[in-house]
């Protein structure tokens, strides 16, 4: 009886698997295209570069540094912001901390006092004591404290390039764009088994994929090294304090207004960051991002995007972590089906297709490793590709797990901020090249 029921179910099961495999293959092929976009389009590659000559400083900047329990790194971060090569009278650095976080407040205050003693007076500490305690709330508080023309955000662990404001000053004035997203790059690719894969995700996201989004006027922005004309933030009414990925959300809202966003990923000027130090931290970070994307999807601001293509791209982008999870989790299932269920050869070949795409993704990552390391003057060890190979599927499963966890949290209405710890691993790397042209 059971076996005959199973036999009855086999036909529809195979048909469903074939259809699912084909959809997943198309999705994965599209993702490969997005990953390779900059390398595929000579024009995009050229546009990704920072200007070779900088204009004289003209725009005034507010550098917002939201921090929470960042005692270990906040002083370095403030110093990095102070070290930016831009006239101090045109820059305002605002460290924003929740008033209960006394450790970070004390360390920040300490550094500000040291700086003031040396005549550096453009750094301020701002605190807030109302709910919710999260980054977008901090940003809104800090934004209200400044009148400078351009507002930017750096996270506490960021290693900021000293010429970054020159890059943005020149780009905004030359091209008249109201929003500029510059590159953010994880650097510690050899710290642990998953760090290279994590680093490469950032590499492809900022160097390639965001250019595709910018060209199509539908872009989820990054959380830092993003620069807004203040009128844009005023028009939008600030950041969404209930969203776990306020950066993606504000990007969608800017796209809905039809405002152009310029993406600059120039290996010389990226903001350097670190991968989460533990698997637990990594999962929490990914869960927050995936859930934030789902929140943004549910919020529906993307419906205001002018064209159908943009709306579809928004849905695809915001649901992407979930789709990626499906691919990772589906490959073992499809292989199991091929070997345990009798099916036509053609169906079995179609069920293999997602595995080909996973192999393609891996190979793209491997090539990306050498692109990344040569761009930053690094040299991977011979073991790095092997580590990537062994860690590749487990890493995809981690992403899949985080995406599922995010979906469950969203369905249960749990949306507290799971913070990522920062230990400053990337700051052990070589000093940034000073490359002001």
| Cβ at position 239, least distance to another protein in Å | 35
Pick 193 or 356: Cβ nearer another protein: 356
Degrees (nearest 5) of the Cα angle 284, 186, 355? 70
Q: Could you tell me which of 124, 122, 56, 130 has the C-alpha nearest to residue 83?
A: 122
Considering the complex, state which of residue 96 and residue 348 has its C-beta at the smaller distance from another protein. Answer: 348
In whole angstroms, how close is the CB of 384 to another protein at the nearest point? 15
* Least distance between another protein and beta carbon 267 (Å): 11
Q: Residue 10 Cβ, how far from another protein at the closest point, in Å?
A: 17
CB of 360 to another protein, least distance (A): 6
User: How many whole angstroms separate alpha carbon 407 and alpha carbon 20?
Assistant: 20
- 371: contact with another protein by CB under 8 A: yes
State the nearest-atom distance from the C-beta of 39 to another protein, in Å: 4
Decide if residue 8 touches another protein (CB under 8 A): no
* Among residues 10, 22, 41, 333, the one that binds another protein under rule CB under 8 A: 41
Residue nearer to another protein on the CB measure, 51 or 260: 51
Closer Cβ to another protein, 44 or 182, answer by number: 44
**Residue 23 makes contact with another protein by CB under 8 A:** no
- The interface region with another protein, picked from 35-43, 118-126, 235-243, 421-429 by CB under 8 A, is 35-43
Interacting residue with another protein among 11, 19, 30, 40 (CB under 8 A): 40
User: At closest approach, how far in Å is the CB of 342 from another protein?
Assistant: 11
Nearer to another protein, 5 or 345 (CB): 345
Instruction: Tell me the per-residue interface mask from 310 to 349 with another protein, x by CB under 8 A, - otherwise.
Output: ----------------------------x-----xxx-xx
Tell me how far, at minimum, the Cβ of 199 lies from another protein, in Å. Answer: 17
Binding site for another protein (CB under 8 A): 33, 36, 39-42, 45, 338, 344-346, 348-349, 352, 356, 359-360, 363-364, 366-367, 370-371
């Amino acid at each position: 009886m059971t076996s005959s029921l199973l036999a009855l179910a086999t036909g529809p099961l195979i048909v469903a698997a074939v259809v699912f495999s084909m959809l997943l293959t198309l999705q994965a092929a599209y993702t490969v295209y997005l990953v390779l976009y900059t390398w595929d389009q000579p024009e995009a590659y050229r546009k990704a570069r920072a200007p070779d000559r900088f204009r004289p400083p003209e725009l005034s900047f507010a550098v917002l540094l939201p921090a929470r329990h960042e005692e270990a790194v906040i002083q370095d971060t403030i110093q990095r912001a102070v070290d930016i090569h831009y006239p101090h009278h045109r820059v305002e650095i605002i460290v924003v901390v929740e008033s209960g976080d006394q450790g970070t407040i004390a360390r920040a205050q300490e550094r500000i006092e040291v700086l003031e003693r040396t005549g550096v007076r453009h750094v301020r500490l701002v605190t807030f004591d109302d709910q919710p305690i999260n980054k977008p709330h901090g940003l809104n508080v800090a934004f209200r404290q400044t009148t400078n023309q351009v507002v930017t955000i750096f996270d506490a662990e960021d290693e900021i390039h000293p010429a970054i404001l020159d890059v943005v000053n020149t780009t905004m004035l030359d091209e008249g764009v109201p929003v500029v997203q510059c590159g953010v790059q994880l650097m510690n690719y050899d710290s642990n088994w998953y760090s290279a894969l994590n680093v490469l995700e950032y590499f492809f996201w900022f160097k390639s994929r965001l250019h595709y989004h910018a060209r199509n006027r539908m872009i989820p922005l990054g959380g830092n090294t993003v620069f807004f004309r203040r009128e844009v933030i005023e028009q939008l009414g600030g950041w969404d304090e209930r969203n776990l990925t306020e950066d993606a959300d504000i990007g969608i809202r800017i796209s809905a207004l039809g405002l152009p966003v310029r993406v600059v990923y120039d290996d010389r000027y990226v903001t350097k960051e670190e991968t989460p130090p533990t698997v637990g931290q990594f999962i929490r970070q990914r869960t927050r991002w995936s859930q934030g994307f789902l929140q943004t999807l549910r919020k529906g601001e993307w419906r205001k995007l002018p064209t159908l293509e943009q709306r579809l791209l928004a849905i695809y982008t915001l649901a992407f972590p979930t789709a990626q999870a499906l691919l990772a989790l589906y490959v073992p299932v499809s292989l199991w089906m091929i070997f345990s269920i009798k099916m036509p050869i053609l169906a079995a070949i179609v069920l293999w297709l997602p595995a080909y795409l996973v192999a393609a993704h891996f190979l793209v990552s491997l090539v990306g490793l050498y692109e990344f390391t040569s761009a930053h003057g690094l040299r991977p060890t011979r073991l790095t590709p092997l580590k990537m190979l062994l860690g590749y599927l487990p890493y995809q499963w981690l992403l899949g797990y985080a995406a599922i966890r995010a979906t469950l949290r969203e369905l249960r209405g749990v949306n507290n901020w799971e913070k990522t710890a920062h230990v400053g691993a990337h700051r052990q790397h070589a000093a940034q090249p000073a490359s002001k042209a």
